[in-house]
Amino acid sequence: MKTLKKIPTFKDEDAEREFWAKEDSTEYLDWSKAERVTLPNLRPSLRTISLRLPEAMIAELKLLANKRDVPYQSLLKVFLAERIKEELGRATAGAASPPRKPLR
């Protein structure tokens, strides 16, 4: 087993980031002893946006959300996530299927 170098103390995150961008971490860490961790409370960063939608569309969305007993904004996020996943899957598949009719 080779002798590992001591990890220096950094004045801030920028200095640490710069250090690890240049250095080989295997000279400082024994990755064979690393363990996989799960961070169950880690949440994705959220950003508030303003979106103008027709009132009729919002009313229909609220109706669908009410049937599912979920907030309409949460349902909208689910719908967006599903569509994004579908579009990205189509892009990686070489767009073999015909394009969908655009949303209005």
What per-residue confidence (pLDDT) applies to 1? 65
Express each pLDDT in 52-68 by its tens digit. 999 999 999 999 999 99
The answer to whether residue 97 scores a pLDDT higher than 60 is: no
Instruction: Tell me whether residue 83 is in a domain.
Output: yes
Q: Is residue 71 part of a domain?
A: yes
Angstrom distance (rounded) from CA 84 to CA 93: 14
> Whole domain around residue 71: which residue ranges?
55-92
Residue 46, domain member (yes or no): no
- Nearest-angstrom CA–CA distance, 89 and 77: 18
94, 100, 97, 46: which is closest to 73 by C-alpha? 46
Domain count, the chain: 1
* Inside any domain, residue 59: yes
User: Is 39 a member of any domain?
Assistant: no
